[in-house]
Amino acid sequence: MNYFKQLKTVAFWEYQRFYKLKNELIGIAVLIIMGLVGGSVGAGIQSYAEAEKDITITITDQESPELKKALSEKFTVDIIDASQQDDFIEKIKQERKGLLLCSDGDIFMLHAYKEPRPINDIQNVLDTYRQNLAIKEKGISTEQLDYVLEPAEFEKEYYREEEAQYRTVAAYVFVVLMIMAVFSSFAYQFTGITGEKQLKVTEMIVSAIKPKVWMDGKIVGITLTGLSSMLSYLVIAILGGIVIFILANISAASVLKYIHLPSIILFFLFTIMGILMWNAFMAAIASIITDPNNSGKSSIMFIPVAFVLNSFFVISYPESNLATFFSWFPLTSPSTMPILWSITDIALWQLAGSFIVLTATFYLLRTLAAKIFRVSILISGNEPSWGEVFRLAWRA
Amino acid sequence: MKEILKVDQLNKRFKNIHAVSDISFSVQQGDIFAFLGPNGAGKTTMLRILLDIIKADKGKVNWNINGNNHTLPDSSQIGYLPEERGLYTDVPIIRSLIYMASIRGMEKQEAKEAAMEWLGKVQLADRAKEKLQALSKGNQQKIQFISSIIHKPSFAILDEPFAGLDPVTQESFIEFIHELNKQGTTILLCSHQMQLVERIAGKVFLINKGEEIYNGFLNDIYSIFGDRLIIDIGFSEEIPDNKINSITGIEKIEKQNNRNIQVTFKANVNISEIMNKLSGIPGISHIKSHNPTLHDVFLALVKKEQNING
């Protein structure tokens, strides 16, 4: 039986085992519901916070009308007789509510049971009030003040192509999608391989196909699963975006400028090869693990987090030597190179070179994964050490 | 008959254990060839080497199926039931079976038909769409068996096919193996359950601690044991050891429990004299004589081997 037929059979099997459109849609629906619930709760909190800001500030009749006017612009103001001040403070303590603002020259004193939510708003009103008093005292006119506070004229001329900034947005979208694809693949690869070892299916299968074909089939099948999840979320995001654009009355032209076909092709190539490479990496690790609940090696599978973190570094320091290194280093290049291409000038040979290195790394990792898998298949007792695994893999 | 598998001087060591030591044998087309030995004798290691799952340190394996000489034949020609059973428990049975057949080169439709045919034979056709985990252990074993031979292989390797089965299912498996063999599949089976194997195998290979003890026809093996007489004796009261020991011609006495013993007599003893002696012993509830079983022969051969090796 030829290699490609077996590869197709295994890849399709793995894909069908793990990719369940129904579950995917349920997951997306749960996310949307959680988003709506989160949004509603957020709106509720916001409106509660706004209501809390709608407070009444009490002042005595000895305060200036200007202060009353300034406070009235933002709050409800009550005025009491100055002789009632002490009684009012006592009432605040007893009833645990009410705010009393008193002034002594330039100093203001707020009496309250606890710090009120709009304390910063009160501070802002008092700042403005004091500034206005000071302007009056110094005899400064409004024009003079405007002149003093006027910002410096600062014109900017950037020579980067305008469309490059739109590519950055697309790069972010693809990095986020890739992270989702890698992490969902991680879960499937881990449960798939360790599960088969625990179910003892392995020996039956390797008597029928070469471990290399089986491993390749798994990597391809689970990569397809990850890509399918990625596409499901992309479609939902696009549909959601369309709804938002229609509601916000944004023209189609302003949206289309984010869609740059060469960028999309580049991102897809790097994303697909990146997911394949990470899947090969994770398959190799999962092959060693005999008991996922008690293995110290499970944590190694979280290494992909590293590439997420380096993406943020590259966005902050795109011109640095480290960013250039990340764009070539195969474990980081799938996410870094597309971002770097979006925000800096990258020559075509650099893109091609980085992609070739990435592809070669995938090939090597996939070969190593198959070798490790071959020697680890029948290990069901003590988990082998790294040294044992590599020694056996070297001999295989 | 055509030689379909030839194994020559195979050796395999695991650290300090010599799991397979200078093993040679051959299997002819149409044979039911039994590889017998106790647990840990090296049977499974041997099979894994034949299937290229593990590599031998030394020696040669030559397959010759359908006129093609290979070190390992195409997987479509081989069926394998491993000792370590396992299938996808969370997938419908029919899908698992089609997958197993597909990776061995069968077309999907053909695999589906073969799966349904075998499920019918084991009376599980109505449960084809259920998940494996819904079946009893015995029925799961049947599915495992089907998955190893569904693609109609020329050669099937069955490692401990009777392990964990109840007597009724064991009988069914003996029938399945006979049927498979009648359909043209050469069978190599490994087992430590010798009383079942001697009912189906034509040739046997006895192995102990990785070494060959016997390799040949099953019928011939009994002649090695000689014309020994074996008598099972049951007592209604305590076994009178001194009276039993006084009978002449005894080779060995095996105490099976407090009331039953098995006595093996040397070849050419006088049976009527023995029966006379036994009739004088009080408390005997039953007596049954029989030929030596494969189990008896195996033990005798192991003992002989140990004596030779000092």
How confident is the model over B249-263, as pLDDT tens digits?
Answer: 888 888 888 889 988
Q: Residue A208: closest CA among chain B residues belongs to which residue? A: B75
Residue A296 domain-assigned?
yes
Contact A207 B105 (CB under 8 A): no
Same domain, A176 and A243: yes
Contact B103 A6 (CB under 8 A): yes
Residue A6 domain-assigned?
no
Which residues have C-beta within 8 Å of that of residue A211, sequence separation ≥ 6? A370, A373, A374, A377
Structural domain count of chain B: 2
Q: How many alpha carbons lie under 13 Å from residue B117 in its C-beta half-sphere?
A: 11
Higher-pLDDT residue of B74, A355 = A355
Taking the CA of residue A21 and the nearest CA in chain B, the distance in Å comes to 16
Which of these three, A149, A171, A192, is where a domain ends? A149
Taking the CA of residue A340 and the nearest CA in chain B, the distance in Å comes to 43
Same domain, A178 and A317: yes
Residue A140 domain-assigned?
yes
Has residue A360 got a pLDDT over 90? yes
- B103 → closest Cβ in A10, A196, A203: A10
Q: Residue A205: closest CA among chain B residues belongs to which residue? A: B100
Same domain, B176 and B267: no
Residue A30 domain-assigned?
no
Q: Which residues of chain B are within 8 Å of residue A203 when distances are taken between CB atoms? A: 48, 53, 82, 84, 86
Give the whole-angstrom CA distance, residue A190 versus residue A196. Answer: 10
Q: Which residues of chain A are within 8 Å of residue B12 when distances are taken between CB atoms? A: none
Contact A204 B87 (CB under 8 A): yes
Taking the CA of residue B146 and the nearest CA in chain A, the distance in Å comes to 12
| Predicted local confidence at residue A380, as pLDDT | 56
Confidence band of A293 (pLDDT split at 50, 70, 90): low
Has residue A94 got a pLDDT over 70? yes
Same domain, B249 and B215: no
Higher-pLDDT residue of B12, A162 = B12
Confidence band of A297 (pLDDT split at 50, 70, 90): low
Question: Percent of chain A at pLDDT above 90?
Answer: 18
Mean pLDDT of chain B: 87
Diameter of chain A measured on Cα atoms: 102
Same domain, A212 and A276: yes
Has residue A381 got a pLDDT over 60? no
For chain B, the residues whose C-beta falls within 8 A of a C-beta of chain A are: 48, 51, 53-54, 74-76, 78, 80, 82, 84-89, 91, 99-100, 102-105, 144, 147-148
Q: Which residues of chain A are within 8 Å of residue B82 when distances are taken between CB atoms? A: 200, 203-204, 207
Which of these three, B181, B200, B223, is where a domain ends? B223
Give the whole-angstrom CA distance, residue A228 versus residue A24. Answer: 9
Same domain, A240 and A363: yes
| Cα–Cα nearest to B156, from B5, B36, B11 | B5
The predicted-structure confidence for A277-292, as pLDDT tens digits, reads as follows 988 988 888 887 776 6
Same domain, B121 and B95: yes
Same domain, A109 and A250: no
Establish, for the pair of chains A and B, how many residue pairs have beta carbons separated by less than 8 Å: 61
Report residue B173 as tokens: 């498996």
Strands of B3-14's sheet, edge to edge?
Answer: B17-28, B3-14, B58-65, B68-70
Lowest pLDDT segment from A236-250, A379-393, B246-260: A379-393
Has residue B196 got a pLDDT over 60? yes
Has residue A352 got a pLDDT over 70? yes
Same domain, A262 and A322: yes
Q: Residue A202: closest CA among chain B residues belongs to which residue? A: B86
How far is C-alpha A212 from the chain's CA centre?
A: 36
User: Domain residues for B56?
Assistant: 3-223
Q: Residue A198: closest CA among chain B residues belongs to which residue? A: B86
Which residues have C-beta within 8 Å of that of residue A100, sequence separation ≥ 6? A57, A58, A59, A85, A88, A89, A92, A110, A111, A112
Contact B147 A377 (CB under 8 A): no
Give the whole-angstrom CA distance, residue B275 versus residue A112. Answer: 115
pTM value is 0.74
Contact B103 A206 (CB under 8 A): no
Structural domain count of chain A: 2
Residue B253 domain-assigned?
yes
Same domain, A276 and A231: yes
| Predicted local confidence at residue B233, as pLDDT | 92
Same domain, A120 and A87: yes
Which residues have C-beta within 8 Å of that of residue A9, sequence separation ≥ 6? A217, B99, B102, B103
| Predicted local confidence at residue A109, as pLDDT | 92
Mean pLDDT comparison of A48-57, A95-104, A190-199, highest-scoring range: A95-104
Has residue A313 got a pLDDT over 90? no
Has residue B112 got a pLDDT over 90? yes
Contact B82 A207 (CB under 8 A): yes
User: Domain residues for A65?
Assistant: 54-149
Q: In a mutagenesis test of the A interface, which of B15, B17, B102, B131 is the best target, namely the one with the most A β-carbons within 10 Å?
A: B102
Same domain, B254 and B135: no
| Cα–Cα nearest to A175, from A304, A67, A75, A299 | A304
Residue A16 domain-assigned?
no
Same domain, A248 and A209: yes
Taking the CA of residue B216 and the nearest CA in chain A, the distance in Å comes to 27
Q: Which residues of chain A are within 8 Å of residue B74 when distances are taken between CB atoms? A: 1
Residue A22 domain-assigned?
no
What one-character-per-residue DSSP string does A142-160 give? Answer: HHHHHHHHPPPP------S
Has residue A378 got a pLDDT over 70? no
| Cα–Cα nearest to A197, from B84, B44, B160 | B84
Taking the CA of residue B55 and the nearest CA in chain A, the distance in Å comes to 9
Contact A17 B86 (CB under 8 A): no
Higher-pLDDT residue of B280, B93 = B93
Q: Which residues of chain A are within 8 Å of residue B56 when distances are taken between CB atoms? A: none
**What would the mean pLDDT of A175-201 be, rounded to a whole number?**
81
Residue A4 domain-assigned?
no
| Cα–Cα nearest to B79, from B147, B169, B32 | B147
| Cα–Cα nearest to B294, from B196, B209, B216, B215 | B196
ipTM of predicted assembly, 2 dp: 0.76
Which of these three, B196, B223, B250, is where a domain ends? B223
Residue B273 domain-assigned?
yes
**What would the mean pLDDT of B176-199 be, rounded to a whole number?**
89
Residue B127 domain-assigned?
yes
**What would the mean pLDDT of A80-103 be, rounded to a whole number?**
90
Taking the CA of residue B7 and the nearest CA in chain A, the distance in Å comes to 18
Q: Residue A192: closest CA among chain B residues belongs to which residue? A: B88
Contact B99 A202 (CB under 8 A): no
Residue B81 domain-assigned?
yes
Same domain, B246 and B200: no
Same domain, B218 and B234: no
Residue A248 domain-assigned?
yes
Q: Domain with A117 in it: what CATH number?
A: 3.40.190.10
Same domain, B168 and B244: no
Taking the CA of residue B233 and the nearest CA in chain A, the distance in Å comes to 44
Give the whole-angstrom CA distance, residue A288 versus residue A269. Answer: 30
Residue B231 domain-assigned?
yes
Which of these three, A124, A149, A174, is where a domain ends? A149
Which of these three, B223, B253, B275, is where a domain ends? B223
Give the whole-angstrom CA distance, residue A164 versus residue B146. Answer: 60
- B89 → closest Cβ in A199, A207, A380: A199
The predicted-structure confidence for A35-87, as pLDDT tens digits, reads as follows 889 888 988 888 887 776 678 999 999 888 888 998 988 889 999 998 999 99
- A1 → closest Cβ in B51, B88, B105: B105
Same domain, A124 and A237: no
Same domain, B155 and B15: yes
Same domain, B182 and B283: no
**What would the mean pLDDT of B236-246 be, rounded to a whole number?**
86
Q: Domain with B217 in it: what CATH number?
A: 3.40.50.300
Same domain, A96 and A225: no
Has residue B308 got a pLDDT over 80? no
| Cα–Cα nearest to A209, from A12, A16, A3 | A3
Same domain, B207 and B145: yes
Same domain, B146 and B93: yes
Which of these three, A149, A182, A215, is where a domain ends? A149
Same domain, B156 and B233: no
Contact A6 B89 (CB under 8 A): no
Same domain, A136 and A175: no
**What would the mean pLDDT of A211-223 be, rounded to a whole number?**
91
